[in-house]
Each structure stands twice: as C-alpha cells, then as structure tokens.
Amino acid sequence: MTTTANLDDIYYQALLEKDSSYEGTFIVGVKTTGIFCRPTCRARKPKRDNVEFFNNAKEALQKGYRSCKVCKPMEQYGTTPANIKTILDELSADPSLKLRDYDLVKRGIDPAWLRRWFIRNHGMTFHAYQRMYRINTAFKKIKGGDKITDAAFSSGFESLSGFTDSFKSVFGISPRNSKENKVIDLCRIESPLGTMFACATEEGLCLLEFSDRKMLETSFKSLARQLNATILQGDNPHFDLLRQQLEEYFSGRRNEFSVPLHMPGSAFQQQVWKSLQQIPFGQTRSYSQQAQQLQKPGAVRAVANANGMNRISILVPCHRIIGSDGSLTGYGGGVWRKKWLLDLEKRIATAGSESISIF
C-alpha cells in the first residue's frame, strides 16, 4: 500500500516540477521560512528535509505557517475568473449573443488573454466556443420541433447558409438530415483534485473524468460512437446538480449521489458498475470480492477490465477497488488521486456527521 512517506515523495516531485495537475491536492510548508505555498509556486524550491505537506491551507495555518506572497495559496486555484464567468452566464442566458474582439476590449478584456484562457481550459478559442454553443442551441431547437430557419436565426446565425456550413462541419450532415443525431453536452468542472470534464445527455450524466487522464480522448470517442452523438460545449440540467453534489462531497457533507446516470455498456459492464455503487462509503473491496459479489468468482480479470471501462469517476466509485493484498491498484485518474479520495472518505466516515473542510 502507498505509505504517507511515499505520497510525500510524489508531492515533492510535483513541487519541483511545478505540476499544475496537483493544484488543490496539497499545500507545502517550508520549515526554514515558515511560509506555505501551492504546488506551482515560482519561488526557489526548498530541500526535501525542509518541507512538510498539508491537505489544505487551514492545516498549514494551524501549524503556524504564513501564506506565500508569490503564489497566494489562500486563493482558490483554477476557478473561472469573474469577468469570464459573467460572459459565460450571459451566453447561457442568450446563446445568440456574439462578442467580438471589439466588445471584449470595451469590457476591459484582452482578446489574446481570453483566447489563451479558453484554449488552456476548453481546448478551443473563445470565438470557437461561442460558435459551438450556438450550434448546440440550434440543434436542440430543431430536435424540439423548431423550423431550421427559426432555429438558426434565433441562435445568432446571420444567414441560413452560414448555419448550414457550420452545422455540417460539426455533425457531418445537413440540419435537415439530423433527426437521428444526438448531442452530448460537455462542461468543465473544477475540483480539489484538478479540472474535470463532464458529459451529459437528457437521460443523465455519462462521463466524469479528470482532464489529464491519458484515455480521455478515447473515452470521448467511444461514448460518442455508442450513443451516435456529437460532443459539444453546452448547458445541461444535470450539470447544476452535479456541481452541487460534488461540492458537498468534497466538503464532507455528502456520501452518496442522486445525479441521474446514463451509462451505455454491455449487460456485464452494467452489472459491474452497479456493484461499484454498492460498495459502502468509506470502505474498499478487492477485484476478487467484487467478482464473488457478482457470483462470478472466476471472472476477476473480466471484472477488472469492466471497472477500467467506467467513465464516471467518484459517482461510480472504482477508486474503492484495491488489490487483494491491500495495495492501491491502478486508477485512471492516478494512484495519488485514488489515495486522496480514499483518505477523504475514511475521514468523513470516521467523523460521522461532522463537516470536514478540505479548502
């Protein structure tokens, strides 16, 4: 099993490399200066013997450390800047809204800075994000029975030909031939363990993965193929409930989820994923125990493979599966995240109804 010492070594390496994927995971206290920092601090790196690690800023403060003036660890990392959040809220309220560089400058926003932020956080430019959002909105209107012309113009397109060209570039077919197509909505969610991507259909959440997972692109492609759908940036009612319940989970106020799930897969995969959701909060199971629960004791490898195909992290808790010897086995989000989640759940289960702050 991964020990605390080993995890500290992992954290120290992340500190040396200024690894942003560890933001929100730990705080480092520098014994020689009495300062605590976030993992990506630009200050000169201390020696391994001169640091200790904490789960959050509160623990560092209680130990007598002061906040670093360089990396400002008291400010939550990765959250959407207020001016960008305002724009996203406006787009959500009125998808036909089109903000050009001139409009951004009038708001005091540097278009080049906004472009970089969207590429880094959404994988596309701001203007591409706006186009995708409009296409998603128009598509849903067409599926809801609106005429193609009405859907195009009410979603902010200035010409029917422009809308048709944009629609074809995304879906590969014209709007008139899109009745059998579906859209999977995509959004970005910040968590204490890093950025996550969520996907949802009308039926429910169908993906929740950390943005740095190596198999993420493969998961997107297989999900789109299984549902015969196109993944686009867009709003979905399930996202609001997901954000709320994840916040409650990470703050120690929730140990089960009620977000509807939409999990395409074989009958066997469905059984395995359901068994994951039946593992009690704060507890773990081995692959062998999971196979026995499914009354398939000889299918340990098949059960492990099905666990690996789970696309919904945390809510379908494959992180609660460990090796038969108690070791932490592989986890798509990284073994260090797996240990973090198990430690959190153990603390919550031990504390009972008491709230645990990890920020």
Superfamily of domain 4-67: DNA Methylphosphotriester Repair Domain (3.40.10.10)
The whole-angstrom separation of Cα 232 and Cα 199 is: 9
Is 318 labeled as catalytic in the residue annotation?
Answer: yes
The whole-angstrom separation of Cα 342 and Cα 319 is: 7
Alpha-helical regions (H) of 94-215: 101-106, 111-122, 126-143, 148-154, 160-171
**Catalytic annotation, pick one of 37, 41, 68, 318:** 318
CA dist list (Å): 98 to 91, 128, 250, 278, 334:
8, 11, 36, 46, 39
Which of residues 88 and 245 earns the better pLDDT score? 245
Q: What percent of the chain has pLDDT over 90?
A: 35
Check residue 174 and report its DSSP letter: -
37: number of Cβ within 10 Å? 25
At 225-238, the pLDDT tens digits run 899 888 888 889 99
Going by their DSSP bridges, the two strands 285-286 and 321-322 should be labelled as parallel
- Delimit the domains of the chain by residue range: 4-67, 79-179, 265-351
CA angle 52, 56, 58 (to 5 degrees): 100
State the greatest distance between any 2 C-alpha atoms of the chain, in Å, as a whole number.
68
The whole-angstrom separation of Cα 303 and Cα 22 is: 30
Going by their DSSP bridges, the two strands 321-322 and 205-210 should be labelled as unpaired
Contact 312, 261 (CB under 8 A): yes
- Give the per-residue pLDDT at 359: 37
Contact 231, 186 (CB under 8 A): yes
Average the pLDDT over 308-326 and give the result: 91
The whole-angstrom separation of Cα 170 and Cα 168 is: 5
The whole-angstrom separation of Cα 118 and Cα 95 is: 17
- Give the per-residue pLDDT at 177: 60
Q: Which residues neighbour 119 within 8 Å (Cβ) at sequence distance 6 or greater? A: 125
If pLDDT is split at 50, 70 and 90, which confidence band does 354 have? very low
At 35-74, the pLDDT tens digits run 999 999 988 899 999 999 998 777 887 788 888 888 888 7
If pLDDT is split at 50, 70 and 90, which confidence band does 269 have? very high
If pLDDT is split at 50, 70 and 90, which confidence band does 1 have? very low
Out of 1.20.1630.10, 3.50.50.60, 1.10.10.10, 2.60.40.10, the CATH code matching 265-351 is 1.10.10.10
Strands (E), 192-260: 194-200, 205-210, 229-233
The whole-angstrom separation of Cα 5 and Cα 133 is: 46
The whole-angstrom separation of Cα 157 and Cα 99 is: 13
Residue with tokens 């959040």: 85
Contact 227, 264 (CB under 8 A): yes
Class of domain 79-179: mainly alpha
At 182-220, the pLDDT tens digits run 889 998 888 888 788 999 999 999 999 988 777 888 888
Look up residue 279 and give its amino acid: I
The whole-angstrom separation of Cα 337 and Cα 112 is: 33
Q: What is the rounded average pLDDT for all residues in the chain?
A: 84
Going by their DSSP bridges, the two strands 35-37 and 27-30 should be labelled as antiparallel
Check residue 312 and report its DSSP letter: B
Whether 79-179 shares its CATH topology with 265-351 is answered yes
The whole-angstrom separation of Cα 320 and Cα 316 is: 9
